[in-house]
Amino acid sequence: MPTRAFAAQSPTSPLAPHAITRREPLATDVEIDILFCGVCHSDLHFARNEWGMTVYPVVPGHEILGRVTRVGKGVSQFRPGDLAAVGCLVDSCRTCDHCARGLEQFCMGGPVFSYNGPDRHSGGMTFGGYSEKIVCDEAFTLKVPANLDPARASPLLCAGITTYSPLRRWGAGPGKKVGIVGLGGLGHMGVKFAHALGAHTVLFTTSEGKAADGKRLGADEVVISKDPAQMARHAGSFDLIVDTVSADHDLNAYLAMVKLDGSLVMVGVPPTPQQLSVFSLLMPRRHLSGSLIGGIGETQEMLDFCGARNIVCDIELIRMQQINEAYERMLRSDVKYRFVIDMASLKG
CATH architecture of the domain with residue range 2-158+294-345: Alpha-Beta Complex (3.90)
Which residues 6+ apart lie within 8 Å of 101 measured at CB? 295
Residue 348 confidence (pLDDT) above 80: no
Model confidence at 347, in pLDDT bands (50, 70, 90)? Answer: confident
Residue 100 confidence (pLDDT) above 90: yes
- The string of pLDDT tens digits covering residues 309-333 is 999 999 999 999 999 999 999 999 8
Which of 190, 116, 113, 197 has the alpha carbon at shortest distance from 155? 190
The verdict on pTM exceeding 0.85 is yes
Structure-derived torsion over alpha carbons of residues 115, 348, 35, 71, reported in degrees to the nearest 10: -80
pLDDT at residue 1 in the model? 85
d(CA 280, CA 252): 6
d(CA 178, CA 220): 10
Residue spans of the domains in the chain: they are: 2-158+294-345, 160-290
d(CA 127, CA 59): 5
Average pLDDT, the chain: 95
3-state secondary structure of 228: helix
Tell me 14's DSSP state: P
Q: What is the mean pLDDT of residues 234-252?
A: 94
Phi, psi (degrees; rounded to nearest 5) at 200? -75, 115
- The string of pLDDT tens digits covering residues 167-185 is 999 999 999 999 999 999 9
Which residues 6+ apart lie within 8 Å of 312 measured at CB? 148, 149, 152, 153, 156, 306
Exposed (0-12), middle (13-18) or buried (19+): which is 272, by Cβ within 10 Å? exposed
Which of 158, 160, 237 has the alpha carbon at shortest distance from 193? 160
The rounded percent of the chain whose pLDDT value lies above 90 is 91
Residue 271 confidence (pLDDT) above 90: no
Give me the CATH topology for the region 160-290: Rossmann fold (3.40.50)
Residue type, 81: G
- The string of pLDDT tens digits covering residues 32-58 is 999 999 999 999 999 999 999 999 999
16-21 vs 2-7, strand pairing mode: antiparallel
Which residues 6+ apart lie within 8 Å of 107 measured at CB? 92, 93, 96, 98, 99
The rounded percent of the chain whose pLDDT value lies above 70 is 100
d(CA 220, CA 348): 45
Residue 162 confidence (pLDDT) above 70: yes
Give 246-294 as a DSSP string.
-S---HHHHHTTEEEEEEEEE-S--SSPPP--HHHHHTTT-EEEE----
